[in-house]
Amino acid sequence: MSESQARHKQETAEFAVQFIQSGMTVGLGTGSTAIFATRHISELFRRGELRDIVAFATSRAVWQEAVRLGIPMLTEDMPQAIDVTIDGADEVDPKLNVIKGGGGALLREKIVAQASRREIIIVDESKLSPQLGTRWPVPVEVLPYGWQSQARFLESLDAEVTLRKTADGCEFYTDQGNIILDSRFGPIADLEGLAQKLASRAGIMEHGLFLNLADDVIVAGPGGIRHLQRGS
């Protein structure tokens, strides 16, 4: 991450955190951009500028970091609704549909997004795209059992499929013990149609197409901060 990218990520995170108020239940996103929001929330909580908040993590790694920072956390059964979630994205189209899952937490992230009254996505300008799939593959989380069948299914949909691995070359496993097939479709003309095909396939636990879930997208770039809202 370059110094300018890191600065833009931090700027978007701090802008988004202003929508969190005392007494709220907050969803904490996963990834290099969302972690800036978690850290800023902890600072405001420690200074007493945010009071009586409780958070819910989208991954075990984020839960551990939030606990380390002193943020009160909900248990994993999510006993109450979430007011605002701040999360990152890998690619964002003009209608604020996004691809997520680069950090490997797409199943938990989608559960949290669907349970949130307001989903705020924070990105730098490099994540903006004219059409999803142009710059990023769609992560598809699948059961290890019979996973090559799912790979063949994705290839039948004209995807170029890669089994995700860790930096040391081992298979990557999600918090649920599943694997991820990064599926490069190229620009996707029919997002809803593809999402339905993926959702209907046994063995596919979730996909990284987050359609009609983002209420706000905060974008940072050399020209400053832009606040995009769905339907505006």
- Catalytic residues, by residue number, are 109
Instruction: Assess contact for 182 and 162: CB atoms under 8 A.
Output: yes
The conformation of residue 132, written as its DSSP 8-state character, comes to: T
Residue type present at position 71: I
**Eight-class DSSP state of 126:** G
Query: Contact, 161 vs 169, CB < 8 A?
Result: no
Length of the chain in residues, anyone? 232
Tell me the C-alpha distance between 205 and 200, whole Å: 10
Cβ proximity of 97 and 133 under 8 Å: no
Strand partners, 77: none
Residue 78 token pair:
């999510």
